[in-house]
A and B are shown apart, each in its own frame.
Chain A
């Protein structure tokens, strides 16, 4: 069971079942709307949504890229700041005691409530949205990264002490790699939150992006357009998480071969 053809067809068969399930989902939706004669303003049929996207493909694409850009930038900043903060609180218990409760408290503030403040502070461009996105996503990164950094077996830390490992080397060779599985779990949550954060930012103030499309289409009762944006958002979220999964597999080569063969 190891030649490329069998591997490919096995992969295709495995990939086929979610595709079939999704198609079935849309088929049922279509049939449901047609049978019960649901008005498009309440629940548009999938074919109407497809038509909407097909009518303005470039416009949707442009706005998708805007939201994607805000999401990725906010995510990237959240990851960098989150990992650095996690390292700081793990390496310095004094720092953690001082700062962590404040961090948790600040995280409980709903970003939607303070979003208008960001507009005042950072203007009406992409900056406030990136800031909101970062703030929403960073908590997941910090929690999971610090958990991972702390999950090193005590024996291994003893070994490092006996071998006179410097703090930096212990961090780089032991704590960070050990934290990667937890970190990736946090990254996936943070990515989903970043996408939501980008939309929230757009709701508060934007003339661009999928959030803007949703808000303005709602105002015009153009439900097919709302759903078109939602559909694109779902696909975006799916693709982003899929990319993280691929990165995870690439970053954790030692996990292959443990299950299976």
Chain B
């Protein structure tokens, strides 16, 4: 079956021939419905790779295809979420969720019921008329997730969306995101530097080396879905975490 995303020796260099090499010959393929985490230390190029997938950057070398077509601009119906939630403070929660319809020149009325359903799903019923400034970080990120799902994307890209949240909120949002994915099975590429978050959410973890970024290891996570937080204490889970931490140690990124 043809992969949804195919990368062949993708490299990215910033700032001319002597500039910073962010990605060094990344090759990977992602099948439809997979939840793939890009896991690595800060500055290893995983966000750069995600931006190339989103059509926000162009790779300097190599082939990057989405459904067989080279990515040259932001693809249609892409869901995206950032670490800073990128909500519009001057719009209500509902207007924020409906933003993809506004920019996509789609009729607002047609998408309003869907926006309400999404807000209900993340526990923000009744918050449609509130302004983002009155919400906590976790609530704002939930609104951002709703926004990313409005057009029922086939591909969801997330760049450390829970990085700025406290541990408990992060755990809760991990559960919420996992449930959403388990239900819809949209292809998801998720950038993180939390090993346990990557193992919990993913069907596959791609471990990136430090800059310049390369795929150092490709680990299939064979834990049945849907998963629960308690699974984090299971031997299978801790095995994967140990394996990945070991990889980081051999890369010299953790010293203990």
Contact = CB atoms under 8 A, between A and B. Distances in A.
Given A253-B131, A254-B90, A162 B56 contact: yes
A173 B54 contact: no
Contacts of B131: 253-254, 257
Is the contact region of chain B dominated by helix, strand, or loop, or is it mixed? loop
Contacts of A252: 90
B86 A156 contact: yes
Contacts of A159: 80, 82, 86, 99
A164 interface: yes
Nearest to B151: A163
A258 interface: yes
A232 interface: no
B136 interface: no
Interface residues of A, number: 24
Q: Chain B CB within 10 Å — which of A163, A178, A180, A254 has the most?
A: A163
B74 interface: yes
Contact of B86 (A155, A177, A254, A257): A155
A157 to B, nearest CB: 9
A258 B74 contact: no
A177 B88 CA distance: 9
Contacts of B91: 173, 177, 254
B210 interface: no
Contact of A161 (B56, B88, B99): B56
Most A Cβ at <10 Å: residue of B54, B89, B103, B132: B103
Interface string A148-185: 00000101101111111110010001100110100000
Contact of A178 (B76, B80, B90): B90
A178 B91 CA distance: 11
B133 interface: yes
B86 A153 contact: yes
A164 B86 contact: no
Contact of B74 (A153, A162, A177, A180): A162
B68 interface: no
B74 A161 contact: yes
Interface string B70-87: 000010101010101010
Nearest to B147: A159
25 contacts: A155-B84, A156-B88, A158-B51, A158-B80, A158-B82, A161-B56, A162-B54, A162-B55, A162-B78, A163-B100, A164-B74, A164-B76, A165-B102, A166-B103, A173-B88, A173-B99, A173-B102, A173-B103, A174-B88, A177-B90, A177-B91, A252-B90, A254-B132, A255-B133, A257-B134
